[in-house]
Amino acid sequence: MTRSPVAHVNHFLWGNADLRGLPWWRAAFITLMRYFYATARDLAQGDLQLRATSLAYTTLLSMVPLLAVSFSMLKAFGVYNKLEPMLLEALAPLGPSGEDITHSIISFVNNMKVGALGTAGLVTLFYTVVSVMQKIERAFNHSWRVTAERTPKQRFSDYLTVIIIGPVLVFTAFGITASLMNNQVAAYLSSFELLGRILRWIARLLPYLIVIGAFTFVYVFMPNTRVRTQSAFTGAVTAGILWQAAGWAFAKFVAGSAHYTAIYATFASLFLFIIWLYVAWLILLTGANIAFYHQHPEYLHGPRRDPVLSLREQEALALLAVAHITAAMYRNEPPCTLATLVRRLRMPQGLLRKVLDPLQQAGLLRMAAGREPAYLLARAPEATTVDAVLDVVRSADAAGGLETRAGAAFLARWRDYEQAITTTAKALTLKDLAGMI
Instruction: Kindly report, residue by residue over 249-292, the tens digit of the pLDDT.
Output: 888 877 766 665 555 556 677 778 888 889 999 999 999 999 99
Mean pLDDT, consecutive 10-residue segments, the chain of 437 residues?
62 65 78 85 86 87 72 60 69 75 72 59 71 87 84 79 68 58 58 67 74 88 89 93 87 70 63 86 93 86 70 84 86 86 82 88 85 83 79 72 57 61 47 47
Same-domain check for residues 185 and 87:
yes
Same-domain check for residues 353 and 423:
no
- The answer to whether 283 and 32 have CB atoms below 8 angstroms apart is no
Is this prediction's pTM over 0.75? Answer: no
Q: Which domain holds residue 435?
A: 402-437
- The answer to whether 319 and 263 have CB atoms below 8 angstroms apart is no
Same-domain check for residues 328 and 280:
no
pLDDT given for residue 433 in this prediction = 44
55, exposed or middle or buried, with CB in 10 Å at 0-12, 13-18, 19+?
A: buried
60: CB partners within 8 A, 6+ apart: 273, 274, 277
pLDDT given for residue 230 in this prediction = 94
Q: How many domains does the chain have?
A: 3
CA 86 centroid distance within chain: 26
Same-domain check for residues 272 and 319:
no
Same-domain check for residues 73 and 175:
yes
Same-domain check for residues 344 and 423:
no
DSSP string, 384-418: --HHHHHHHHHHTT---TT-SHHHHHHHHHHHHHH
By residue count, the chain amounts to 437
* H/E segment holding residue 159: helix 152-160
Same-domain check for residues 354 and 227:
no
pLDDT given for residue 181 in this prediction = 54
How, if at all, do strands 374-377 and 365-368 pair? antiparallel
pLDDT given for residue 10 in this prediction = 64
SS3 371: coil
Same-domain check for residues 420 and 385:
no
